Amino acid sequence: MSTSYNRIAYEALEVCNGVTMASVEGALARAGLSPGASAADVGTGNAGVAIRMAQAFGLDVTAIEYDPVMAGLARERIAAAGLDDRVHLAAGAAADVLANLPPLDLITALGTTNVNGEGRPTPEAGFAFLKSRLKPGGWLLWGDLVWIAEPPAPLRQIAEATNQYTDDAGWKHAAQAAGFQTVWSEVSPRAVFDAYAAAADTAARDWLAAHPDAPEAATVQAAADRVKMVLEFGRPFIGFGLYLLRA
């Protein structure tokens, strides 16, 4: 497949999640890492965060992406930014790539799935694995869905098909249990999450209108409809949390 819903939607976004680049940069600035520090961006998507890590902070970044279609987009974005020397794309499973890297100064993981190779990890298991891939005193910038209210059982089942989620206090407790200190955190304002969902949906609908006969059209349509339904139904219950953690 030459394209997918994720590629179409995320190509239109600065960050592939319900958070602003300004929040990501502000969190990374708090880590105070020196230029040349080693970092990995897990589930890099469109490589927007990995590129900013190199541009704004001078980090040496391994951008990890499992989806080959998204890896193609990331590769194009990195080359267009002229950052092939500082942002290195690694196409593969996060657990495998991280296991073959030396311990890192920083890992960013925003909206990742199967981060530790166990299929559907608990928050504690995901954090424990990532901590094992950091240097002592290293940093993790973690971002993921947050339950802002107790979800109906069907919504939880759909949302947690790949990962288990928790509320803001639950993410912080899981981080502490894995040996992290929460240095800073933020749950995105509702307007930010809504803008993310709307931009992704608009990009998909515009692509479908322009490519009605494309071989991928039916798959893109189904994915766009599914994501829109889940986010509209889940609006009172789903947010996005960003956590700067130190090992």
Q: Has residue 207 been placed in a domain?
A: no
Q: Has residue 161 been placed in a domain?
A: yes
Beta bridge partners of 65: 91
Q: Has residue 208 been placed in a domain?
A: no
Query: Could you tell me if 86 and 66 are in contact, meaning their C-beta atoms sit under 8 angstroms apart?
Result: no
CATH number, domain of 108, equals: 3.40.50.150
Please list the helix, strand and coil fractions of the chain in percent, rounded to the nearest 5, in that order.
45, 20, 30
Residue 226's CB is within 10 A of a number of other CB atoms, namely 12
Reading the chain (247 residues) residue by residue, the pLDDT tens digits are 589 999 999 999 999 999 999 999 999 999 999 999 999 999 999 999 999 999 999 999 999 999 999 999 999 999 999 999 999 999 999 999 999 999 999 999 999 988 999 888 899 999 999 999 999 999 999 999 999 999 999 999 999 988 899 999 999 999 999 999 999 999 999 999 999 999 999 999 999 999 999 999 999 999 999 999 999 999 999 999 999 999 9
Task: Count the residues in the chain.
Answer: 247
Q: Has residue 82 been placed in a domain?
A: yes
Residue 197's CB is within 10 A of a number of other CB atoms, namely 20
Q: Has residue 209 been placed in a domain?
A: no
Beta strands 60-65; 181-187: pairing state? unpaired
Domain that holds residue 48: 5-193+226-246
d(CA 206, CA 240): 25
Residue 92's CB is within 10 A of a number of other CB atoms, namely 15
Q: Has residue 115 been placed in a domain?
A: yes
Q: Give me the phi and psi of 125, to 5 degrees please.
A: -65, -40
What the block records as the tokens of 204 is 């998909």
pTM (2 decimals)?
0.97
Q: Has residue 212 been placed in a domain?
A: no
Domain count, the chain: 1
What the block records as the tokens of 38 is 């080693």
Q: Has residue 141 been placed in a domain?
A: yes
Query: Could you tell me if 141 and 24 are in contact, meaning their C-beta atoms sit under 8 angstroms apart?
Result: yes
